Structure 1
Amino acid sequence: MRRRAFISAAAATTTTAVAGCLGDGSDGEPTQTDEPDGTETPVPTSEETRLEDSSFEVENVECGDEYGGHDVTVENGEVTVEGVLDGSNSCYTAELVRGEYDGDADTLYVEVEAVEREDAEACTQCVVEIEYVATFTFENGEPGTVSVEQRGSATGSASSGVSESESGSGEATKTPQSADY
C-alpha cells in the first residue's frame, strides 16, 4: 500500500513541477524578445540621397552669339545649372527635357533643349541666346556627379559636360564644354 501512496505523491509532484514550466512566467504581462514577429518595419541603416524637387526657368531670350556653355553649382543639398543655348529666332525658348537622379550611379542627369514656343506669332530674325536656370533640391546628400547636356537649334550647337562634386563642397564647378557639332 505504501507503494501506491508513494506513486500517487510522485505523480502529483511531477504534475506540479511540469505545470510550473508550462507558464510564461510573466503573470499575464507581455514579454520582450529579440526575435522578429513579422510586424516590425525595418529601419534603414543609412538614408539614401534622393531628388526631392526641381524647377526650371528661362531668364532671358535676346539676340546674341554667346551660347553653348553652362555652369554647375552644388551647395547645401541644392544643384543649380545655369546655361545659355541658341535658338533660330526670338520665338525659341528652352525646355528641361530630363532632370533625373540615378542613385545607383550617384549621378544627376540634366538635358536642356531649345524649342519653338507654341504661342509664337511674330519673331525677330536673329540667332538668340536663351539663358536658363535649373535647380534641383536633394534630401540626404548631393549627387557625386552632375551630367549636363544642352542642345541649341540655330547653329546646331551642343554642349555637354560632367561635373564631379564632393557633397557639401559648396564650390562652383565649371563644366567642360564641347565644340559645336
Structure 2
Amino acid sequence: MNRRALLLGTAGLCASLAGCASGDDAAEQSAASTETGTASPTPTEAPRRPRLVGRSFTPVRADACPADGALATETETGFSVVGCVSGATECTIARLARADYDADADTATLVVEAVERTDVKNCAESPVARGYEATLRFESGLPGRAVVVHDDADGRREVARVDADA
C-alpha cells in the first residue's frame, strides 16, 4: 500500500473538515481583521528613501558668481544651486552633466561642466565665467547630503556641499 498517498489524503480530508466545522464566523473574523488592519510598518519593510523626482538647469548671467564657484542651499523639497563655471573661450557654455541620487551613500550629486559650442567658429581665447541655476526636487524626504561638482577650465572639483537638517 502507498503510505504517502494515504497520509496526504487523510491530511487533506482533515483540513477540509476542520474548515467546515469552524463555521462562517471564522471566515468573517479573518475578513474583518484584514479590512480593519492597521497600516503600521512591519519589521520586514524597508524604510522609505528619498527619491529624485525633478531637476532643472538654467544658464544665467554670471554677474554675481559665488566666491567658491557655487552656493547650494536646502529647500523644503530639495536643493537649489547658483553657480558659475569657468571657460577658456568666449564660446564656452555651462551644461548639466549629471544629477542623481545614490541611496546607499544618501548623497545627491550635481555635476556642471563647461563645454565649447561646436556650432560657432573663431572663438576668442579669453577666460569667461558662465552662470547657472539648478534645482533638485525629491519625494519622501531629503538626502543626507548634496554635493556640487564643477568640471571646467579649472579642472574637476567639489565646489559646494550641503548636509541636510536632521
Q: Indicate the TM-score class for this superposition, using the shorter chain for normalisation.
A: 0.5 to 0.7
The alignment-based identity, stated in percent, is 29
Q: Is the 8 A contact 2:94 2:130 kept in 1?
A: yes
In 2 relative to 1, CA 139–21 (structure 1 residues): closer, same or farther, beyond 3 Å? closer
Structure 2's unaligned 5+ residue stretches are: 1-16, 35-40
Q: Which residue of 2 aligns with 1:163?
A: 161
Q: Which residue of 2 aligns with 1:150?
A: 150
In 2 relative to 1, CA 133–79 (structure 1 residues): closer, same or farther, beyond 3 Å? same
Q: Is the 8 A contact 1:73 1:79 kept in 2?
A: yes
CA distance in 1, matches of 2:111, 2:87: 16
Structure 2 residue 117 is matched with structure 1 residue 117: yes
Q: Which residue of 1 aligns with 2:23?
A: 25
Q: Deviations over 1:49-69 (max 9, x none)?
A: 11111111111268xx98761
The correspondence of residues 6-155 of structure 1 with structure 2, limited to 5 A, is: 22-26=20-24, 32=30, 44=45, 46-60=47-61, 69-153=69-153
TM value normalised by structure 2: 0.68
Give every structure 1 segment of 4 or more consecutive aligned residues whose post-TM-superposition deviation is greater than 6 Å: none
RMSD, matched Cα: 3.4
Q: Which amino acid aligns with 1:47?
A: R
Q: Deviations over 1:29-52 (max 9, x none)?
A: 6551779xxxxxx98564321111
In 2 relative to 1, CA 68–31 (structure 1 residues): closer, same or farther, beyond 3 Å? same
TM value normalised by structure 1: 0.63
Number of corresponding residues: 140
Shift of 1:103: 1.2
Shift of 1:87: 0.9
Shift of 1:97: 1.3
In 2 relative to 1, CA 27–136 (structure 1 residues): closer, same or farther, beyond 3 Å? closer
Q: Which amino acid aligns with 2:59?
A: V
CA distance in 2, matches of 1:88, 1:57: 20
Shift of 1:75: 1.2
